[in-house]
Amino acid sequence: MVLHVPVSDPRVRPLLRELGDEYCRRYGKDAHAELSRYPDEEFTAPYGGVLLLLLQAGEPVAGGAFRRYDPQTAELKRIWTHSAHRRRGLARRVVAELEREAAARGYRRVHLTTGPRQPEARALYLATGYTPLFDTDADPETIGPLPFEKHLPAHRRAGAAVRTTTGKAAAL
């Protein structure tokens, strides 16, 4: 099940905690502050963003978000798969759901950056059609954050529905 939730939803806490811990291990510094760098409102509909979770048996197994980068561009943030559920294509599904939602909200481009010590993320974005905005032959450590972009096809809202935090269907 795909659920759109606010950052304050308690099911988001495991996502942010595990993501912060992972970044700390990879980069050797406290990354939890980076995860709270953007106001929670930026990941809600009125401000042009969304945060979604994939649930299995009621528990979050993957998630991600986007925020408004500019009027035509959504910026992907916080893409995560629970460590016990990796290698099952869940991150691809999260990215596809975020792209679909961004297109439905009128965005025509997706932008993101990933860290140089996240080869799995780099491979995910390359495999899902993102264009690297950096020299892929260079040592990622010399680049810093690795920027990517993808242009979205025009999308018509056709009465699709998602589940809200109340569990009721809501039209997009």
- Domain 2-171 architecture: 3-Layer(aba) Sandwich (3.40)
In angstroms, rounded to a whole number, what is the distance separating the alpha carbons of residues 12 and 57? Answer: 15
pLDDT at 17 over 50: yes
* pLDDT mean across residues, the chain: 88
Alpha helices in 9-137, H assignment, sequence order = 13-27, 32-35, 90-104, 119-127
Residues 6+ apart with CB under 8 A from 22: none
How do residues 37-70 score in pLDDT, each as one tens digit?
Answer: 888 899 988 888 999 999 999 999 999 999 999 9
Task: Give the tokens for residue 127.
Answer: 């495999």
- pLDDT tier at 156 (50, 70, 90 boundaries)? low
pLDDT at 114 over 90: yes
| Rounded percentage of the chain residues whose pLDDT exceeds 70 | 88
What is the mean pLDDT of the segment spanning 76-96?
94
pLDDT at 75 over 80: yes
Predicted structure pTM score: 0.85
Q: Closest Cα partner for 124 from 159, 40, 115?
A: 115
How do residues 118-150 score in pLDDT, each as one tens digit?
Answer: 999 999 999 999 999 999 999 999 999 999 999
Within 13 Å of residue 36, how many CA atoms lie on the same side as its CB? 6
Task: Give the tokens for residue 156.
Answer: 């018509």
Cβ atoms 121, 89 nearer than 8 A: no
How do residues 5-14 score in pLDDT, each as one tens digit?
Answer: 999 999 998 8
pLDDT at 74 over 90: yes
Task: Give the tokens for residue 160.
Answer: 């699709």
Cβ atoms 84, 91 nearer than 8 A: no
Going from N- to C-terminal start, the domains of the chain cover 2-171
In angstroms, rounded to a whole number, what is the distance separating the alpha carbons of residues 148 and 104? Answer: 21
Whole-number pLDDT of residue 55: 95
